[in-house]
Amino acid sequence: MHHVTVPHHPSLPALPAPDTTPTQVASPGPLRVVHADDALLAIDKPAGLLSVPGRGADKADCAVARVQAQFPDAHTVHRLDMATSGLLLFARGGAMQRALSVMFEAREVVKHYEAVVDGWVAQDAGEIDLPLLADWPQRPRQKVDHVQGKPSLTRFRVLRRDPATHSTRLALQPLTGRTHQLRVHLLAIGHPIVGDALYATHDEPTVTRLMLHATRLELQHPVTSQALTLVSAAPF
């Protein structure tokens, strides 16, 4: 497995103002529950739905609110970007929230994603090792910053190259959990995720969503200590 290298810049060049139009309207009503037991539960979050409430009454609808309507003891332990779909894990009760939060911080929860990116990725597999930092003048953007950025590491593997659309389907594993890590890392190596209204450098008129999905979570169950693997197939 090889490391991907990019030119050494203090930061990525400034990008145009983001398009704040949602990439997809989330489906109303209850969410699909992938797993539920007395300690934790997982749902399949649709693209276009916030993980937690945003600022303002118009951003009150979110995954945790919908989950708590069915499971009142559900607590947030991690998040997915609004534009990203896939597996989102919740704790049942405060003690489990603390236990699962420690597991996420210790990187004991293995996260897997699939994405479709622009262009053909040359390497069949590799790692992207680039430090990331919040781009405060262009919030909520993040950027590569070799001076002040936090260490960030992503593994990738090519699943398929599509000649018709000149795109590549990738399996992704973020070994760190930085905000927008996958989106910025792929942009930095010249292969932005298709449908990314925040970071993509050109329009994809036929794409209505960010082509990024959380496909698998692997963890040791905090109560039974048994290996638990949760799976959600990419809807694109």
State the burial class of residue 138 (Cβ atoms within 10 Å of its Cβ: 0-12, 13-18, 19+). middle
Report how far residue 24's alpha carbon sits from residue 30's, in angstroms, rounded to the nearest whole number. 17
Report how far residue 199's alpha carbon sits from residue 187's, in angstroms, rounded to the nearest whole number. 7
Pair 19, 29: CB distance under 8 Å = no
Torsion of CA 67, 54, 148, 182, to 10 degrees: 50
Please pick, among 81, 118, 135, 145, the residue that the annotation labels catalytic.
81
Report how far residue 131's alpha carbon sits from residue 148's, in angstroms, rounded to the nearest whole number. 8
Q: How far is CA 134 from the centre of its chain?
A: 16
Q: Is 81 a catalytic residue?
A: yes
Torsion of CA 135, 137, 141, 147, to 10 degrees: -10
Pair 38, 74: CB distance under 8 Å = no
Catalytic sites, residue numbers: 81
